[in-house]
Amino acid sequence: MIGLEPVLDYVRMKDGILKAISADGTIRAVIATTTELVEVARQRHQLSFTATAALGRALTAGVLLAPLVARDGQVALKFQGDGPLGKIFVDASPKGTVRGYVQNPEIELPLNSLGNFDVGAAIGKTGYLHVTIDHGFGGPQMSTVELATGEVGEDINRYLVNSDQTGSVVVVGTHLSKNGVEAAGGLIIQLLPDHTEETICQIENNITTFGAFTFLMRRGMSLEAMLGRILTGFEVTPLTEVKPLAFRCKCSDERFVEALKVFTKQDLISMAEEDGQAEGRCHFCNEFYYVGKERLLDLARGR
């Protein structure tokens, strides 16, 4: 079995997200804890350790990006590298919901030279990150950037720099034990147009002394406290209260029935007579749906 550190006492924080801005208007930040939703994804998709670390980072990146770029819509991420995990898909909403999956959830890799899960090798260092933003009006906005390292945080940072032409810091992490996800979360800090060289130097100094995000989470540090630590030297003004987050899919029995309506009358009758039912699975949440024989025949009759 892949090596993991011993299980330690830790504090499990409820998933939540907080947005803030510095009083001088030079920095905006968003910070989130995503432990529970990543654990839900791990269980639903029966993820390996490596796949959990990768999808956990991607899910966290999605919930962090959504309130920054999507407003009333949603943001979709697709990591498409040359690693064995295959594609990773994430769909997140500013309302605090997110869903996602890995193409090859069973893939396991040895730890890297630093003793961490080798997410970069699992996703691949050659490939693309596709970002689709639906603002809730008009057509979707699509962007593509080359993967920086496959480590997720660096790739999201490259996207932000390319799209906004501003400096940013992206931190995403997932900590696992043999019992599952112990801590997951991250933050994004963006420099606003009025920033100075002193702003950059202060943030760089703070980052070097910040410590591991998931370590601080496991010790019970609140979002407000972690944000204050990373933005030491700045007066920080919260833009929102801490809002809850959850792994939640859009699939339903009704949607599955609607999807069946694309089949011809004869196809529906064949399903009913030969199989006795129609079966479908949602890629995003791994939920199975079934429609019985009589309902299939009703659909074939146009009911």
Q: Where are the domains of the chain?
A: 16-247, 253-300
The per-residue pLDDT for 12 is 63
For 75-85, how does the pLDDT look when each residue is reduced to its tens digit (9 = 90+)?
999 999 999 99
Is 86:47 a contact under the CB 8 Å cutoff? no
Query: pLDDT at residue 254 above 50?
Result: yes
Q: What is the distance, to the nearest Å, from the Cα of residue 237 to the centroid of all Cα atoms in its chain?
A: 25
| Strand intervals (E) in the chain | 16-22, 27-33, 74-81, 88-92, 97-102, 127-134, 141-146, 168-177, 180-191, 236-238, 243-244, 246-247, 277-281, 288-292
Average pLDDT over residues 104-123: 95
The per-residue pLDDT for 211 is 75
Average pLDDT over residues 244-250: 96
Q: What is the distance, to the nearest Å, from the Cα of residue 83 to the centroid of all Cα atoms in its chain?
A: 18
Which of the residue ranges 16-25, 59-68, 158-167, 205-214 has the most confident prediction, judged by mean pLDDT?
Answer: 59-68
Average pLDDT over residues 102-112: 96
The per-residue pLDDT for 303 is 66
Percent of the chain with pLDDT over 70: 96
> Whose CA is closest to 12, among 32, 31, 34?
34
Tell me the backbone φ, ψ of residue 106, rounded to 5 degrees. Answer: -90, -5
Question: Whole-number mean pLDDT of the chain?
Answer: 90
> Whose CA is closest to 88, among 103, 108, 66, 106?
103
The per-residue pLDDT for 130 is 97
Is 247:98 a contact under the CB 8 Å cutoff? yes
Is 58:100 a contact under the CB 8 Å cutoff? yes
> Whose CA is closest to 219, among 7, 57, 12, 4?
12
- Residue 236 structure tokens: 């920080």
Average pLDDT over residues 147-173: 91
Least confident of 27-41, 211-225, 269-283: 211-225
Query: pLDDT at residue 9 above 90?
Result: no
Give 10 or 44, the one with higher predicted confidence.
44
Query: pLDDT at residue 1 above 80?
Result: no
Does this model's pTM top 0.85? My answer is yes
Query: pLDDT at residue 62 above 70?
Result: yes
Class of the domain covering 253-300: alpha beta
CA distances (Å), 175 to each of 86, 190, 217, in order? 22, 25, 10
Three-state DSSP state, 258? helix
Query: pLDDT at residue 42 above 60?
Result: yes
Query: pLDDT at residue 122 above 60?
Result: yes
The per-residue pLDDT for 197 is 84
Element (H, E) at 197: helix 197-210
For 11-37, how does the pLDDT look when each residue is reduced to its tens digit (9 = 90+)?
567 899 999 999 888 899 999 999 999
| Parallel/antiparallel/unpaired status of strands 97-102 and 246-247 | parallel
Angle at 202 between CA 186 and CA 56, to 5 degrees: 10
The per-residue pLDDT for 72 is 80
- Residue 277 structure tokens: 């039912």
Separation CA 248–CA 105 (nearest Å): 19
State the amino acid at position 214 in one-letter form.
T
Separation CA 295–CA 287 (nearest Å): 20
| Beta carbons within 10 angstroms of residue 290's beta carbon | 11
Three-state DSSP state, 148? coil
The per-residue pLDDT for 7 is 38
Is 156:65 a contact under the CB 8 Å cutoff? yes
pLDDT band at 57 (very low <50, low <70, confident <90, very high): very high
Q: Give the architecture-level CATH label for domain 16-247.
A: 3-Layer(bab) Sandwich (3.55)
The per-residue pLDDT for 48 is 98
Give 200 or 20, the one with higher predicted confidence.
20
